[in-house]
């Protein structure tokens, strides 16, 4: 896996570097938007809204085919509530993991639509969580957790989506990202992210 990742990164770097001088088929831009995140497969599930923002670089092999690289700061907020009827208690958890995401996507364009697919490499930057416990009619007790211990620091995802060009410079995109590895760095945990991204894109 590590060898494959290094090969992809080196190939992408050489591709952009070899064409940077002329800049004929290399374009840059920025994007930002909303994340709707869902965590499934673990001890408890959750969902929530976050955001992403960052830069993009695109290289066109031809009029229809190209390669898109992005560098994004992305938050995947989650909220879940678990009720335990035996002791009449409720546990509400809210967490906000932050990632540096690096999608490397191949795209196929026709008319004003581009279809994109490829791997995304996610680096965990920070993790904050708040756990609120309520037992019967007692006042809620809140505990805060911060830190990345026990969580996977690097993961590989698969991204699939489409982008519509409103004009030569402005576009909107919709993308689905599926984590290929669990959030927790544990052998018996399979909690994985599913993220739907809605973005506004501006090309320089």
Identify the CA nearest to 203 among candidates 109, 121, 138, 120: 109
The predicted structure's pLDDT at residue 173: 97
Q: What is the largest CA-CA distance in the chain?
A: 69
- Mind listing the pLDDT tens digit for each residue in 139-175? 778 877 787 788 889 999 999 999 999 998 999 999 9
The predicted structure's pLDDT at residue 85: 63
The predicted structure's pLDDT at residue 105: 97
Residues (pLDDT < 70) of the chain are 1-24, 42-44, 81-87
Q: How many CB atoms lie within 10 A of CB 199?
A: 23
The predicted structure's pLDDT at residue 175: 98
């Amino acid at each position: 896996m590590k060898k494959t990742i290094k090969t992809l990164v080196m190939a992408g770097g050489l591709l952009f570097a070899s064409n940077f001088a002329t800049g004929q088929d290399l374009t840059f831009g920025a994007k930002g938007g909303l994340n709707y995140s869902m965590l499934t497969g673990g001890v408890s599930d959750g969902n929530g809204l976050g955001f992403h923002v960052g830069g993009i670089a695109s290289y066109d092999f031809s009029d229809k085919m190209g390669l898109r690289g992005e560098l994004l700061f992305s938050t995947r907020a989650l909220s879940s509530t678990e009720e335990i009827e035996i002791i009449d208690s409720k546990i509400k958890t809210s967490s906000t993991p932050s990632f540096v995401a690096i999608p490397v996507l191949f795209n196929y364009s026709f008319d004003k639509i581009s279809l994109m697919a490829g791997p995304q490499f996610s680096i965990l930057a920070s993790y904050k969580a708040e756990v609120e416990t309520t037992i019967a009619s007692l006042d809620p007790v809140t505990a805060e957790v911060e830190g990345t211990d026990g969580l996977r620091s690097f993961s590989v995802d698969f991204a699939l989506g489409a982008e519509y060009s409103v004009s030569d410079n402005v576009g909107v995109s919709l993308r689905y990202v599926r984590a290929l590895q669990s959030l927790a760095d544990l052998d018996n945990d399979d909690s994985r992210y599913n993220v739907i991204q809605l973005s506004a894109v501006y090309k320089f």
